[in-house]
Amino acid sequence: MEILAFGVQSDEKPMIEQAFQGHHEVHGLDVFLNEDTALIATGHEVISTSVNCDLGAGVLENLAAGGTRMIAQRSTGFNNVDLKTAERLGLTVARVSYYSPHSVAEFAWTLAMAVNRRIVRASTRTRDFDFRLDGLMGRDMHGRTAGVLGTGKIGEAFARIAHGFGMRLLGWDVAENPACRKLGMTYVSKERLLAESDLVTLHVPLVPETHRLIDGPALRTMRDDAILVNSSRGGLVDTAALVAELRAGRFTGVGLDVYEAEAGLFFLDKSLEAVEDDTLARLVTFPNVLVTSHQAYYTVDAVSQIIETTVRNVLDYTAGRRSENVLVPRS
């Protein structure tokens, strides 16, 4: 059986091909699945998708009409998948329920340190042989407060890093993590966490209840000199409200690895095109903002785990097995 994989990065392609070797043939595409590209999947029973692929109702209808019966999502998040439509159409959907939490947690910490210590600005200056320190002053993280919104595996990994730096830990989640408690984390309301934290980091899934979790009122609750990091999902932050606060001169730094409207932008080269997204164009102009292209998960360790799980999900489908990764079971 030939499997069609959408949204495959060049670094990822040989890893996918090697992982499927001896099982099924896989054809990796650098294009993302959407209504315009769905017809490419015609005749392929199994396809694999990335988090920025469009798996809305219209796309799923086209896939089902073309003979697709199984979708193997190469990510933990599945907010891009219309699960109700998939179930109605008899499409099996599986995801990667777990991969290295350290990849995302370490990158989130990297973003926090980069904006705190003005690393990008300093690097740009020294490339021009400008070695002044003006405007590069940061702050010690030791003794300050880290607020972790979402204390699952990734949030816990981030908390361990912050604890190692000697930070006070505040947490917010629907369920407390005993491991975070052992680190000295105090669970508080979202409002108190935002008000008391010097560093706020987001590690919650994007579901209807968390959409724009950090909205205008939440941003205004935060300290003027706080650092905000989002390496989870772009829809957790109201970007227009964030821009308004940044224009008012607030926040020491903001590190974003995800963006509300990143689909059709992230993972693609848009350097020679006019920027149509005015909000993103404004966001990247702030000197205290660092935007990266949804790369927090992108380590050899994490990607290897994602691909290995994807292979297992496909093999489980062909063998009629069901695992904890299945979101919509085989009908």
Which residues are catalytic, by number?
233, 262, 294
29 phi, psi to nearest 5 deg = -115, 145
- Determine how β-strand 92-94 pairs with β-strand 326-328: antiparallel
Number of alpha helices (DSSP H) and beta strands (DSSP E) in the chain: 12, 13
Region of residue 208 (phi > 0: left; psi between -120 and 50: alpha; otherwise: beta): alpha
Between helix 101-116 and helix 153-164 the angle, nearest 10°, is: 50
SS3 assignment, position 147: strand
Which among 292, 297, 298 is positioned nearest to 280, based on CA atoms? 292
For residue 11, give Cα distances in angstroms to 16, 165, 234, 299, 303.
10, 33, 24, 10, 10
3-state SS class at 57: helix
Total residue length of the chain: 331
Phi and psi torsions of 173, nearest 5°: -170, 165
Taking the C-alpha atoms of residue 7 and residue 83, their distance in angstroms, rounded to an integer, is 20
Contacts for 270-279 with beta carbons within 8 Å, 24 or more apart? 279/239, 279/240, 279/243
